[in-house]
Structure 1
Amino acid sequence: MPEGLDGRRRSLLAVVCAVAVANIYAAQPVLADAGADLGLPAADLGWLVAAGQVGYLLGLVALVPLGDVLDRRRLIAAQLALTAVGTGVVAASSTAPFALIGLGVAGLFSVVVQIAVAYAAALSPARERGRNIGVVTSGVVIGILGARTVAGFLADLAGWRAVYVALATASLLLAVLVLAALPPERREQDRAGYRRRVAAMGRLVAGDRAFRGRALIAFFLFASFGTLWSGIALPLGAAPWHLTPTQIGLFGFAGLAGALAAAGAGRWADRGYASPVAGWSLLALIVSWALSGQAGRSLWLLGAGIILLDFAVQAVHVSNQHLLTSSHPERSSATIGAYMVFYSLGSALGAISTAWAYAAEGWPGAALLGAGYAAAGLVVWAAHRRHPVPSPTNAAPSAISAAPSAISAAVTDAAQGRRTPPPTDAVPGRLGRNLRL
Structure 2
Amino acid sequence: MLAAGAGLSVASLYYSQPMLGVLGADVGASTQSVGLLPTLTQFGYAMGILLLAPLGDRRDRRTIILIKAAVLCAALFMAALSPSISTLFVASLVIGLAATMAQDIVPAAATLAPETHRGKVVGTVMTGLLFGILLSRVVSGFVAEHWGWRSMFASAGVSIAVVGLVAWYRLPRFKATTHLSYFALLRSLGALWNRHAELRRATWSQGLLSVGFSAFWSTLAVMLHAAPFNLGAAAAGAFGLAGAAGALIAPVAGRIADRHGPALVARLGAGLVVGSFAIMGLSAFMAPGAQLWLLVASAVGFDLGIQAALIAHQSIVYGIDPGARSRLNAVLFTGMFIGMAIGSALAAVLFAHFGWMAVTALATASALAALVLRMTR
Cα gap change, 1:88/1:174 in structure 2, threshold over 3 Å: closer, same or farther? same
Instruction: Give the structure-2-normalised TM-score.
Output: 0.90
Determine whether 1:149 maps to 2:138. Answer: yes
- The residue aligned with 1:48 is 37
- Does 1:281 find its partner at 2:269? yes
Change (3 A) 1:92 1:235: closer
2:301 corresponding residue in structure 1: 308
The answer as to whether partners of 1:138 and 1:314 remain within 8 angstroms in 2 is no
Matched ranges for 1:42-191 at <5 A: 43-185=32-174, 187-188=175-176, 190=178
Whether 2:334 is the aligned partner of 1:341: answer yes
Distance 1:25 1:354 in 2: 16
What is the alpha-carbon distance in structure 2 between the residues aligned to residue 239 and residue 228 of structure 1? 18
The question of whether the paired residues in 2 share the 8 Å contact of 1:291 and 1:302 is answered with no
Structure with more relative contact order (C-alpha pairs < 8 Å, separation 6 or more): 2
Distance 1:373 1:244, change over 3 A: same
Deviation at 1:260, TM superposition (A): 1.4
Report the more deviating stretch, 109-118 or 282-291: 282-291
- Matched residue, 1:351: 344
Amino acid at match of 1:309: F
CA distance in 1, matches of 2:344, 2:90: 22
CA drift of 1:316 comes to: 0.2
Change (3 A) 1:30 1:72: same
Give the letter for the 1:169 counterpart. V
Instruction: Look up the match of 1:214.
Output: 202
- Aligned partners of 2:355 and 2:87: how far apart in 1? 36
Measured in 2, the distance between the counterparts of 1:36 and 1:233 equals 13
Q: TM-score, normalised on structure 1? A: 0.78
Q: Does 1:271 align with 2:264?
A: no
1-structure distance, mates of 2:241, 2:322? 34
The 1:306–1:277 alpha-carbon spacing in structure 2 relative to 1, beyond 3 Å, is same
Q: What's the offset of the Cα at 1:273?
A: 2.1
Name 1:255's counterpart in structure 2: 243
| Cα-to-partner distance string for 1:290-319 (whole Å, 9 max, x where unaligned) | 433333522333322211111100000000
Task: Report the equivalent of 2:321.
Answer: 328
Q: Name the structure 2 match of 1:430.
A: none
Describe the SS at the equivalent of 1:25: coil
Q: Matched residue of 2:83: which SS?
A: coil
2:18–2:221 contact (8 Å) kept in structure 1? no
The Cα of 1:83 is off from its aligned counterpart by 0.8
Alignment CA distance shift 1:154-1:358 (3 Å): closer
Residue identity opposite 1:205 in structure 2 = W
Check whether the contact 1:274–1:320 (CA below 8 A) recurs between aligned residues. Answer: yes
Q: Deviation per CA, 1:127-169: give whole Å up to 9, x if none.
A: 1111111122223332222222211222223222211211111
Q: What is the CA deviation profile of residues 146-196 of structure 1, one whole-angstrom value per residue up to 9, with x for unaligned ones? A: 2222112222232222112111111111111122223222x3565553222
CA distance in 2 between counterparts of 1:342 and 1:188 reads 25
Q: Unpaired runs of 5+ in structure 1? A: 1-11, 385-437
Comparing 254-263 with 240-249, which one deviates more in the overlay?
A: 240-249
CA gap of 1:128–1:54, structure 2 versus 1, over 3 A, is same
Between structures 1 and 2, the one with greater helix share: 2
The CA deviation at 1:361 is 5.7
Distance in 2, Cα, partners of 1:58 & 1:237: 31
User: Equivalent of 2:211, from 210, 223, 247?
Assistant: 223
Q: Is the 8 A contact 2:39 2:341 kept in 1?
A: no
Q: How does 1:18-37 map to 2 (within 5 A)?
A: 18-37=7-26
Match of 1:372 in 2: 365
Give 1:377's aligned amino acid.
A
Check whether the contact 1:358–1:366 (CA below 8 A) recurs between aligned residues: yes
Whether the 8 Å contact between 1:205 and 1:211 is mirrored in structure 2 is yes
Q: Give 1:278 deviation, angstroms.
A: 0.9
**More deviation in 62-71 or 28-37?**
28-37
Would you say how many aligned residue pairs link Structure 1 and Structure 2?
372
Paired residue for 1:383?
376
What is the rounded CA distance, in whole Å, between the counterparts of 1:357 and 1:96 in structure 2? 22
Structure 2 residue aligned with 1:200: 188
Contact 1:121–1:129 at 8 Å: present in 2 too? yes
- Measured after TM superposition, the shift of residue 44 of structure 1 is 2.8
Counterpart contact for 2:205–2:371, Cα < 8 Å: yes
8 Å contact from structure 1 (residues 222, 343) kept in 2:
yes
Distance in 2 between residues matched to 1:259 and 1:122, nearest whole Å: 22
Structure having the higher Rg: 1
Larger mean CA deviation between 210-219 and 153-162 belongs to 153-162
Structure 2 segments unaligned to the other structure (5+ residues): none
* 1:18–1:140 contact (8 Å) kept in structure 2: yes
Backbone CA RMSD of aligned residues: 2.4
CA distance 1:100–1:375, change in 2 (3 Å): closer
